[in-house]
Amino acid sequence: MDALLPSLPLSPDACYAVLQARDSRFDGKMYVGVTSTGIYCRPICRVRAPKRENCVFFAHAAQAEAAAFRPCLKCRPELAPGGALRWSVMDASKTLAQQAAAWLDGQTQAEASVEDLATHLGITSRHLRRIFAAEHGVTPLQYLQTRRLLLAKHLLTDTALPVTQVALQAGFASLRRFNAAFVEHYRLQPTALRREGKAKTTGLPSALLLAYRPPYHVDAMLEFLERRAIVGIETIDKARRSIRRSLRITQAGQGCEGWLEVTFDANRPQVRLSLSEGLVPATATVLPLVRRWLDLDADPLQIDAALATLPAHACQQPGVRLPGCVDRFELAVRAVLGQQITVAAARTLAGRFVQRFGTPLNEAAPEGLTRLFPEPEQVAAASRDDIASLGIIARRADALRLLAEAWPRLLINQAQATHEAAQRELIALPGLGPWTASYMLMRMWSWPDAFLPGDVVLRKQLATPGEPLPSPKRVLELSQAWQPYRSYAVMRLWRATTPPPTELS
């Protein structure tokens, strides 16, 4: 019997065709449970395709596990890309259910509960359970349990973390509860997934695989980040298809700092994430940050369809992703520093800013990584003259100080806030205009539908040859056709510019 659940992307027969073709475009969007083995797989699994009558299809891993299927040890469902969050005011219940799943994906605390989630979203727990089941086909607790178990499976397979740390990072209150849940759901002991010597071959304590749906325009991502790389904070090696950067992060109230490296696999749609010793305790928090930073959960099929009416030179760029961030405050400072100057000039100012107000990276790191980005408290404590001495105009220095002072209470840090409210709050801060606020939302929140109608580059790209530049109002009207992926339209239009745009973009 097929699992005809609300969010299954295709008919069961079409799902079987995807399975036979091992179509990676549907990876993470559907799973197949094999009734003859009790195992569920990703559609890209390399094992021999089961018979059609033995296949049950699911839209989520949690649905498969709720039906008592165990994850395949070969294709590893925990590596599959997640569902991209699509925001829509047209279907509030659907959006809330997706926000709820995103909140659960980010939970590393054993105390997380349905009541906490309902309070976070501003709805009753009864309403939450109803809309969640309608959208995802499982209860919030079933979804959370699956996420925790798959995260634990990921850490057990790809890292050398002690089992006790794996249990805690995955959100289990105790090792006993973790062992019991793992054996109950997967019918094997956690230690059975251990690979001798794993994570030691690279000389690093942690190396994890993260999958994505192709196509992925790796060169576009690396070039975008390389042009903005801050000296001392990050380095990009296009030949190795890798990015390294320093990072400070908090997990379960514990501050962690160190560095990470991501490398795009040349042969498979996946990246390898390596963490330094200092960041290993925050592995569970770093994983979703990296996925958003590199936009690994994007759905190229839906994005390409939505952007089909872009100008031809911009439309023919499949796989261009939306670069996010791993440190929201860092991105906010970069956005303010880059107002009305070139990307190169903004990068220079950011480098001076880090050298003056950042702190040394104490952990041994690869060449080029020497500093940690300043924290809000450090910037708030600086004087206008301190900041202005770096070549930053006084008005912008004031904007940075006020931003840092307001940072802890801003809506941009609250997942339940609407983008309209967050944008209004940002614009109300001195020195932040609509362009900067939209840019912050686009990259800090990985907001897929932000647009910058006043951007000169976009107006040039959308101009009719021989006619004046379209007004911001007209550009905004044109952009309606690309909803809900206008942020991706911005990235493609910027990339299509020759020469590259001179303003921060």
Burial track 404-434 (b if 16+ CB lie within 10 A, e otherwise): bebbeebbbeeeeeebeebbebbeebebbee
Phi, psi torsion values for 235, nearest 5 degrees: -135, 145
Please report the pLDDT score of residue 176 as a whole number. 94
Q: Number of C-alpha atoms within 13 angstroms, CB side, residue 340?
A: 7
Q: Which H or E element spans position 273?
A: strand 270-275
* C-beta atoms surrounding 35 within 10 Å: 15
* C-beta atoms surrounding 48 within 10 Å: 5
Amino acid at site 410: L
- Tokens 């749906």, residue? 213
Helix (H, G, I), strand (E, B) or coil at 365: coil
pLDDT mean values, one per 10 residues, the chain (505 residues): 52 93 92 96 94 94 94 94 60 79 77 82 89 90 93 91 91 93 92 61 64 95 96 97 96 87 96 94 91 95 91 82 96 95 95 97 92 97 96 96 95 78 93 94 92 92 91 95 95 79 43
Handedness of CA 380, 384, 386, 390 (dihedral sign): positive
C-alpha span between 441 and 434 (Å, rounded): 11
* Percent of residues in the chain assigned helix, strand, coil, to nearest 5: 50, 10, 40
Residues recognised as catalytic? 41, 455
Let me know if 281 is exposed, middle or buried by CB neighbors in 10 A (0-12, 13-18, 19+): buried
Domains (range + CATH), the chain = 12-78 (3.40.10.10), 92-193 (1.10.10.60), 328-495 (1.10.340.30)
Whether 257 and 374 have beta carbons less than 8 Å apart is answered as no
Let me know if 99 is exposed, middle or buried by CB neighbors in 10 A (0-12, 13-18, 19+): middle
Please report the pLDDT score of residue 10 as a whole number. 76
Helix (H, G, I), strand (E, B) or coil at 438: helix
